[in-house]
Structure 1
């Protein structure tokens, strides 16, 4: 391991550790966690900030388990489940203790074998997806930061060298930490759905991390944006650039969307809500429309009228595996100043549980981050 002499790596570090599936009480703040050492083709990153995402809460509560049929409610997020969940996002078991946190920004302070030691000192934004290139293109993620391997809710994290992307930006670490996980997921949704300039996209959950990312990235592509969210988010989303806003709790959501764009007026639907939203989105899509989903906070199970899928020649995409090219493109957009960080609040590492409780209230627009 190659260290900067002026910044020695301590043997222990501060971290908030997940000790098992369950409620917020399963998050334990410690100051005696062993500092990781970078392995072969890995680097050690001093964490400047780590963004919070729904996947952190999903993993903690065991929501990914197929036994769960409900939405990720505030009560479930606070207290966990009564039974014994066992699955992660890819239906494998999560081992404990585990340090969560997928959206890492910081600086490289040490390198492992077969890594150029001149990387020490570089400011980086970390791609949270650790891939196996021997697998199919859209199924390459074998580990994810904060799930199958330790993440960034700590002072230090070891990541593969290729996952640490140099970032040159005037933004703070906390601002940059709003981008990984949410924005690469959103960009992958738009890439797979082939969103083009002049097309209309309907976005659900538009005030959350992925939703606000979808708005900004759709605008970069020159699309017309229809945002669906709670009424209290209207002005902030219109200010962000959405062309139309539809309250999610109107009596007839389909009619409300069609009032804005006409029947079958959407070319793309980008959905992170699921549940009852799903059928409505298929109905507002035009012929040859494209539906992409990367979340189901409104419920994992729904109904479908296959006539919409068949007779409108729709395409449907499930998104879990953003490609390396997608993350690299995201970093380029950030450096070019084409994306605006939506940092709603920053919490110290010791207050991660309180931060998740606040996040579960769904009153924010954009992202929460944690700083060591």
Structure 2
């Protein structure tokens, strides 16, 4: 089968399209891949900067959508089912094997491209807001990087919880993407967004900040928190891991909360089904509608990763593996 394999830790340029044997199904769901998501972990993996460091060569690709070829008894899946799955590795190929517990049916009417960017982003958003952020109805949520895959997913999940949602983005084009995803207001990161957030909340601040960016954004976000607010640390796409003086947390009665969905479900895998049920309900109610950005053919994955690296991407960047 075709697969895009990382042969050198040189970033996206270390990828090469090769022919490799198809994976053995074993006790997993064997999926004929139609589309695969392109994510920030994929980018870090190509540079050897991710916490997981598989030996070279390996096939990246953390999530896919496709058609079941075979499934183990008792998995709930059968040949021909349209599914989306979290794979962690191996998704950028014609065929992938995925754990049954991380494989989910595609909602009716969804494209493979939309489904390919759903599992990691929406499960992360739901875990962040509900499990780690303790979000309540009518609270206000501020989302950084709000036009990207995680950002648009977080906006939609927050709206589904009955929250008011503000977005911080880097351009007017991205502001429109965030508003289209459901943000009530969008502010430019280059402006005095802290003052605008304070004005929009009549000086109180927001209850929850979702920060996948880090760096200076983190420091400014602390100024935006309402009493008992929660700043959720999702990642460091900005490149700098921030530090905080804990006296600032004490004086303001606020929390800084780590969000590592992948690590947590390794310890508590039963949470996956709970989150999937919650997201299915939001999908039925029309809140979950994945925002698909650029779609690239498999052989142009390096270009797709470079779009992420340059922070030009909006919505979820996707690879089309084959038509279907």
TM-score by length of 2: 0.89
Query: Which of the numbers 10, 14, 28 marks the counterpart of 2:2?
Result: 14
2:33 is matched with: 47
Written as runs of structure 1 = structure 2, the 5 A alignment for 1:177-196 is: 177-191=116-130, 192-196=132-136
1:1-372 to structure 2, matched below 5 A, reads 13-30=1-18, 32-39=19-26, 41-63=27-49, 88-89=50-51, 92-112=52-72, 119-128=78-87, 145-146=88-89, 151-191=90-130, 192-232=132-172, 233-250=174-191, 252-321=192-261, 323-324=271-272, 325-334=274-283, 336-372=285-321
Looking at structure 2, the residues matched to 304 and 262 of structure 1 have their Cα atoms a distance apart, in angstroms, of: 26
Q: How far is the alpha carbon of 1:14 from its aligned partner? A: 0.6
Native 8 Å contact 1:53 1:182 kept in 2 = no
Superposed CA RMSD = 2.0
Q: Deviations over 1:66-110 (max 9, x none)?
A: xxxxxxxxxxxxxxxxxxxxxx32xx4321211111121111102
Q: Deviations over 1:37-74 (max 9, x none)?
A: 111x21211111111111100111123xxxxxxxxxxx
Q: 1:18 to 1:123 in 2, by over 3 A?
A: same
Question: Helix, strand or coil for the counterpart of 1:341?
Answer: coil
Instruction: Return 5+ residue gaps in structure 1 as ranges.
Output: 1-12, 64-87, 129-144
For residues 338 and 240 of structure 1, do their structure 2 counterparts lie closer, same or farther at Cα, with a shift above 3 Å needed?
closer
Counterparts of 2:75 and 2:44, CA distance in 1: 36
Please state how far the C-alpha of 1:17 moved relative to its aligned partner. Answer: 0.6
1:113-133, Cα deviation, whole Å (9 max, x unpaired): x556962222112134xxxxx
The Cα shift of 1:15 comes to 0.8
| Cα pair 1:343 1:367 within 8 Å, conserved | yes
SS at structure 2 position matched to 1:304 = coil
Is the Cα–Cα contact under 8 Å of residues 115 and 161 in structure 1 kept in the other structure?
A: no
How big is the shift at 1:157?
A: 0.5
Please state how far the C-alpha of 1:359 moved relative to its aligned partner.
3.0
Deviations along 1:113-159, whole A, 9 cap, x unmatched? x556962222112134xxxxxxxxxxxxxxxx12xxxx211010011
Distance of aligned partners of 1:277 and 1:116 in 2 relative to their CA distance in 1, 3 Å threshold: closer
Name the CA shift for 1:331/1:363 in 2 (closer, same or farther; >3 Å). same
Partners in 2 of 1:281 and 1:370 — Cα distance? Answer: 33
For 1:220-246, what per-residue CA distance to the aligned partner results, in whole angstroms no more than 9, with x for missing partners? Answer: 111111110113222332233211221
How far off is 1:338 after superposition?
Answer: 2.6
TM-score (norm 1): 0.78
5+ residue gaps, structure 2, are 266-270
Call closer, same or farther: CA 1:190–1:316 in 2, change over 3 Å: same
Worse-matched range after superposition: 263-272 or 252-261: 252-261
Query: What's the offset of the Cα at 1:259?
Result: 2.5
Instruction: Please give the secondary structure, in 1, of the residue aligned with 2:156.
Output: helix
